[in-house]
Amino acid sequence: MNLALNNGKIFFRRKLIEANLELRDGKIFEISKKTFSAEKEIDCSGKIILPGLIDGHVHFRIPGGEQKEDWKTGSMAALHGGVTTVIDMPNTNPPLNSIQALKEKKAIVEKDALVNYFFHFGATNSNLEELKELNDAKIASIKVFMGSSTGNMLVENPIIQRKIFEIAKKKDLAVSVHAEDEKIIKENIEKFENENSPSIHSKIRSNLAEKIAVANALKIQKEAGNKLHLLHISTREAIALIKKAKLNDKKISCEATPHHLFLTKNAMDKMGNFAKMNPPLREKKDVVALWNGIKNGTISTIGTDHAPHRREEKEKNYWEAPSGVPGIETMLPLLLNAVNEKKLKLEKVVELCCENPAKIFSIKNKGFIEQGFDGDLAVVDLKKENIINGKDLFTKCKWSPFEGWKLKGVVEKTVVGGKLLYENE
C-alpha cells in the first residue's frame, strides 16, 4: 500500500518546506513539490508534517499492571500524542531484568502494540551475567535505579554500579539512570514520617538527593567511559553539573519531562497526590534552569515518564498513594503551545523528541523525514486550540495533571509504518 500526504509543510533538514510526501511499503519513498497520487491520499493543507515522536520513557505497565495501562491503550494514547515509537521501562511485575522475562514481554507486546517499541532492560544487584548476555535489537539501554521508585530495582552499591556501566560500555549501550540518592531519601523519610501532606514529597526527595546521585553517576561514567543518559532531571543543581560534564564528553545526555517543565511544586497544593511523581515537582527557579538547559543544549531529550495510576490509588493518603502521572498524550500539544508562545522553536521540539532520542538509543531509520526512512509521521495543526479533558484521553486512567489547560497546537493525524492509525480523535 502507498500513502500520499499533499499540500502540507514538511519539517525537512532543520526547516519547514512546502512539499509533498509519498510513502511506499512503510517507508518514505519520495519528497517532492509534485502532487502524489496513491491508494490513500491525505490533504495536509494548513498542517505541518513532523517526524513521528520517540518517547524514550514510558511505563505501559505490562506485565502486572494491566488495570493501569496495557499495550493497546498505551499505544492508542501514544498515537493520540503523535508518538510513533516508545521505549518502555523495566519496573513491571515481574520486572524486565532477565532474558526469559524479555522473551515473555516481547510475545505480549508484539501481539498488542500499535506503535514501534523498544525496552530499557533493568539492572539489579544480581543480574550482571544476564547483562553480559544481552544481545537483542529491542534493548535501547540498561536502566539503573540509584534511588528507589516504583518496584524493587534499587542498585545502591557503587561497585555494582561501576560493573554495570562497564558492561554497557562493552555492549555499546547507554545506561539510563534514575538519579536520586537513596541514603538522603531514607534520612528525609525518617524526618517527615509523622506528616501526611503531599507537600513533603519535594522535601523527602530533595534537590540534594538528585544532585548527589547525578554527581555519582557522572563520576562512575567518567571512569567507565560508557554512554550515560540521566532521566527526568528536575533541579538547577543537577543541570549545572551535567552542563559542565557535557563540555568534555559527548557520551553524556539527559532528559526533562513535560511535568517538570510546565508545573512547579505549587501544583501539589491544588492536586495533591495527583501531582506526586519521582523526582518531585520543584521550585520556579528549577523550572527556569530546565528551560535554560533546553536553550543551551544541556537537555538532550524530552520524555514523558508516562506513568498512569487509577484515580482511587491517587486518592489514598500521601504514604500509600503511588508516584507517577500520565503524559504521553499531552507532551506534543504542550510543546506546540510553547512554540506558539515563542518559548520554544519548532526545530528544537523535533530535536528533543525525534532526532536526539534516535541518536542516543541507536534507533535506525527513525526521528527524521528522509528518503528511505520509516514512514512514521505526526501531522499537526499549530493554529487549532484544544482544552485537555481527561475523559477524552485514551490512557486507561482518564486523568491528566494538565486538566483544563487550553493549548494551541494539536495532533491531527499519526502515521506508523506508512499506515494512518490516528485521525482527528
In terms of Cα–Cα distance, which of 94, 103, 89 is closest to 134? 103
Q: Which three cell numbers stand for residue 380?
A: 499537526
CA dihedral 103, 107, 108, 110 (to 10 degrees): 120
Choose the catalytic residue: 181, 286, 305, 374: 305
Short-list 130, 132, 219, CA closest to 171: 132
Grid coordinates given for 337: 503551545
As given in the structure block, the three cell numbers for residue 68 are 493501569
Give the three-class secondary structure for 49. strand
Query: Which residues pair with residue 352 across a beta bridge?
Result: none
Q: How far is CA 108 from the centre of its chain?
A: 21
Specify the 3-state DSSP secondary structure of 167.
helix
Whether 305 sits among the annotated catalytic residues: the reply is yes
Burial of residue 149, with CB atoms counted within 10 A of its CB: 0-12 exposed, 13-18 middle, 19 or more buried: buried
Instruction: Tell me the backbone φ, ψ of residue 306, rounded to 5 degrees.
Output: -60, 110
Beta-bridge mates of residue 380: 48, 411
Residue 286 sits at φ, ψ, to 5 deg, of: -70, -40
Catalytic residues: 305
